[in-house]
């Protein structure tokens, strides 16, 4: 900045404008950094919330899978018990018939 030929008031005015311009840039940078920090914090909070939801869903899915597996095991056991009971009944009927046929003979 050339100050030759300028009065003291003009030099002071230029200096004041330069200072105000630099101050305005500094304030703008500060606002931009603050906005960026707010955005970072929002992303972090969203990430934490989504992680908690994912973990809760995974826990619920695991619990559901355990319940389903237990129910399937119970059904399988009941089917095996019913099959064994039917087999025992059939064997008893066969033995009863064999006893009757021996008695007749």
CB count, 10 Å around CB of 102? 8
Least confident among 20-24, 92-96, 98-102: 98-102
CB count, 10 Å around CB of 6? 13
Residue 62 has pLDDT above 70, yes or no: yes
Mean pLDDT in residue range 1-5: 70
**The pTM of the whole model exceeds 0.75:** no
pLDDT of residue 105: 65
Mean pLDDT in residue range 12-33: 96
Q: Exposed/middle/buried for 46, CB within 10 Å: 0-12, 13-18, 19+?
A: exposed
């Amino acid at each position: 900045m050339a100050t030759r030929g300028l009065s003291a008031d003009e030099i002071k005015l230029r200096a004041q404008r330069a200072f105000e311009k630099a101050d305005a840039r500094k304030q703008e940078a500060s606002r931009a950094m603050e906005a960026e920090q707010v955005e970072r914090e929002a992303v972090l909070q969203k990430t934490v919330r989504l992680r908690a939801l994912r973990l809760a869903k995974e826990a619920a899915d695991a619990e559901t899978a355990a319940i389903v597996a237990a129910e399937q095991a119970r059904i399988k056991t009941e089917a095996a018990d019913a099959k064994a009971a039917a087999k025992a009944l059939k064997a008893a009927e066969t033995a009863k018939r064999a006893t009757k046929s021996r008695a007749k003979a």
